[in-house]
Structure 1
Amino acid sequence: MTNARGVSLDLTTPEGVADAYLAHPDDGRPHPGILLYMDAFGLRPSLEAMARRLAGHGYTVLVPNVFYRAGRAPLVDLPDHIDPGKRPEIFEKLGPVMSALTPALAMRDAGSYLDWLAGSPLVAEGPVGSTGYCMGGVLGIRTAAAYPDRIAAVASFHAGRLATDAEDSPHRLADRITAELFFGHADQDPSLPADQIERLEHALDAAGVRYRSELYEGAHHGFTQADTAAYDADADDRHWRDLLALFGRTL
């Protein structure tokens, strides 16, 4: 690993300004770009630490506040240790913000994030990768489908509702994806039951997508997030191994 530094910045989008965090190796050279999509709790110190850790492996990592239309991060007062079961008001406030970020709006924003990466002297030429957590995993898959020529790999960890009956369900985008995908599913995740995993894999197989779909046994939704009650250190370690292996062979 190399030393990495991070900085807060603002990104211009067609509809305003998104606050973001950028982490990159401390060598001044261009490195493969990574778009890191946040979970619902948003841009905060623990995600910034994840970005710096990833950057230390030789990547330039951009973490946008995808909820920027509702305000700069953090949108809600978050405790140092997040336990939604004890703080139900957190999701009461975030729920409407999540619903307002439609797939169309999110993918319009994704174009701006990718444009920023493409124009940065800290990012090497060529397609970039993406990793996403919870809702961020869904955004990563949608971005791969919306910008197939710009995304080489996507990792999705403990994402829910990947293969529902909805017309805009992510699995219906499989035939638009050219990137290699990795899915790290939480075994104890009611938002992604076994039948949805099967439906997702069937759609990916039918479309000829290169992917790995793995079940992290015993892990709960949110297992990678060290500042939450769902955190699982063993599953998180496995997540880092799988994530770095994906980017190592694609970027």
Structure 2
Amino acid sequence: MPIETLQVPTPDGQADAFAAFPDHGGRYPGVLMYSDGFGIRPVLREMALELAGHGYYVLVPNLFYRHGPAPVIELPGHIGEEARPAAFAQLMPLIEAHTAERVLRDAEAYLRFLTTRREVAAGPVAVTGYCIGGLLAMRTAAAHPGQVAAVAAFHGPVSAGGPDLYSKITAQVHLGHAEGDVTPEALAELNQALDTAGLRYTSEIYPGTIHGFTMSDTDTFSASGLKRHWDHLLSLLDRMADH
């Protein structure tokens, strides 16, 4: 399957990005994938290729393009405990500079670009995200209810959005929480807010996981957590594609 390197025009400049998609011609449902805070790196390409192998066109933008092309900071091949403090010291200012206004400007540009690719089928798209990207996915779905039919967030700080955010989402939702991030009490409170907003959703704690469990290049990786993520994500996207 090909990976195509792209430049996405945004109001603030060109965002570097890549897309993975099946190579046998045709048009496929579009998926916008937001990376975790560590950004674009080989593991994101692997995950995009895996998803593309199931029949999707997957666009992965560099969230921090305003600060330079990916990789914006140098990362080791394996992000272990000893590498985290230095990486976070560099990344936190970029994450903090990525305000809600910037997120929404970028989201509009990414969706416009995605939906005009010749390989992308007409109709609504899906958005998925990891860590901070999970919150960006939810913000994107809330800002574009007519365009986004499915949204998934994994080990993301989605409760930061609050009821105002949830009430604007019309997409089907899956939230996969790390056991280390969310207590059962906090999950019950979040799910109550999702119920109140009238969302069609699944929201659950993945047993035995800690924050970042989907990323195989980190010491927080969980193979069972990643498999559970694929099972839920593909089921969600299949439902979108069937409509």
Alignment match, 1:186: 178
Alignment match, 1:220: 210
Structure 2 counterpart SS, 1:220: coil
1:1-251 aligned within 5 A: 4-160=1-157, 162-164=158-160, 169-189=161-181, 192-251=182-241
Structure 2 counterpart SS, 1:136: helix
Structure 1 length-normalised TM: 0.93
Q: What is the Cα deviation at residue 249 of structure 1?
A: 0.9
CA distance in 2 between counterparts of 1:81 and 1:230 reads 11
Contact 1:171–1:200, Cα closer than 8 Å, also in 2? no
CA gap 1:85/1:202 in 2 versus in 1, 3 angstroms: farther
Please, what is the CA RMSD of the aligned residues? 1.2
Contact 1:138–1:170, Cα closer than 8 Å, also in 2? no
Q: What count of residue pairs does the alignment treat as equivalent?
A: 241
CA distance in 2 between counterparts of 1:170 and 1:101 reads 18
Contact 1:163–1:197, Cα closer than 8 Å, also in 2? no
Counterpart of 2:131, as a letter, is C
CA distance in 1 between counterparts of 2:206 and 2:94 reads 29
CA distance in 2 between counterparts of 1:193 and 1:97 reads 28
CA distance in 2 between counterparts of 1:72 and 1:199 reads 39
CA distance in 2 between counterparts of 1:136 and 1:86 reads 21
CA gap 1:144/1:87 in 2 versus in 1, 3 angstroms: closer
Structure 1 counterpart SS, 2:179: strand
Contact 1:39–1:136, Cα closer than 8 Å, also in 2? yes
CA distance in 2 between counterparts of 1:69 and 1:197 reads 34
Q: What is the Cα deviation at residue 235 of structure 1?
A: 1.0
Task: Specify every segment of 5 or more residues in structure 2 that has no aligned partner in the other structure, as ranges.
Answer: none
CA gap 1:70/1:170 in 2 versus in 1, 3 angstroms: farther
CA distance in 2 between counterparts of 1:42 and 1:170 reads 25
CA distance in 1 between counterparts of 2:30 and 2:63 reads 18
Counterpart of 1:139, as a letter, is L
* Percent of matched pairs sharing the same residue: 48
Contact 2:163–2:197, Cα closer than 8 Å, also in 1? no
Q: What is the Cα deviation at residue 195 of structure 1?
A: 4.2
CA distance in 2 between counterparts of 1:37 and 1:51 reads 10
Structure 2 length-normalised TM: 0.96
CA distance in 1 between counterparts of 2:79 and 2:63 reads 20
CA gap 1:26/1:213 in 2 versus in 1, 3 angstroms: same
Task: Specify every segment of 5 or more residues in structure 1 that has no aligned partner in the other structure, as ranges.
Answer: none
Contact 1:163–1:199, Cα closer than 8 Å, also in 2? no
